[in-house]
Amino acid sequence: MNDSPTSSGSADPVVITERHGAVAVVTLNRPAARNALDARLNATFPSAIREADADPGVRAIVLTGADPAFCAGFDRRDVDGGEKKGENPHPGYWTALPPTRVPVIGAINGAAVTGGFEIALACDFLIASDRARFADTHTKVGMVPGWGLTVVLPRLIGPARARYMSLTGEFVDARTALDWGLVVEVVPHDELLTRAIAIGEAIATTHAEATAEVRALYDEVRAFGDTDEAFAFENRRARDWAARRFGRQ
């Protein structure tokens, strides 16, 4: 991957990847359809994430959408036409994004709805444009989430707010999302990508192996909840890391 935009090879790419130093920016690119997930985009965006992650020069990935939306969820024409009917093969991971060695920053530039909301929730953390909006409309369209929304969303905003979003389908604006802890920062729309890349560059200045270790630890310690076992697990991992890195117990 180089500093010029790349795509899936199509004359009309549904995903565009650009390099900004150690940061790869992956953009969902069906703007006329509000980046809704048709069969092609649904197959292409995980591949783009994997390709960016496989580049040894990449230390962070920014995932965003071509304006005006982040992602409007699954394209109803595909769903209603049978594209999503029947069993879908399991990709080997639970959330909307494949596992990565580097952090994924969600830069939410507009509406993130249903499946698009689940893509956002699969990122390590989110920053939002002041135009961003979030909604879980699964129940409005007669669907049930399958990319971990009912697992991840309550952890971020609490079970009552998560149920509110899922059971009403109401939109939550960027400022409310910030107040609730869904996003970590809200910036003016025109500054979103610049800020997301700057955060990625900050990640790139850290110790790569330690960053990967801490990122994994956040996932692993969650299984213990807020218990003594969680503290003990973290302490063991810290001592193991010190032994490997510095040769001491």
* Residue 6: predicted pLDDT: 57
Q: How confident is the model at residue 1 (pLDDT cuts 50, 70, 90)?
A: very low
Spatial separation of the C-alpha atoms in residues 199 and 75, rounded to whole Å: 31
Residue 63, both tokens? 């995932």
- Eight-state DSSP code of residue 74: B
Q: What's the pLDDT tens digit per position in 122-165?
A: 999 999 999 999 999 999 999 999 999 999 999 999 999 999 99
β-pair partners for 23: 20, 60
- Eight-state DSSP code of residue 181: T
Q: Percent of the chain beyond pLDDT 90? A: 84
Residue 120, CA distances (Å) to 32, 56, 81, 110, 247 in order: 20, 24, 26, 11, 39
* Residue 78: predicted pLDDT: 65
Spatial separation of the C-alpha atoms in residues 215 and 224, rounded to whole Å: 16
β-pair partners for 125: 105
β-pair partners for 178: none
Helix, strand counts (H, E) of the chain: 9, 10
* Residue 245: predicted pLDDT: 86
* Residue 93: predicted pLDDT: 87
Residue 203, CA distances (Å) to 36, 189, 198, 212 in order: 30, 22, 9, 11
Mean pLDDT throughout 168-189?
98
Mean pLDDT throughout 3-30?
83
Spatial separation of the C-alpha atoms in residues 143 and 79, rounded to whole Å: 10
Per CATH, domain 6-204 is 3.90.226.10: yes
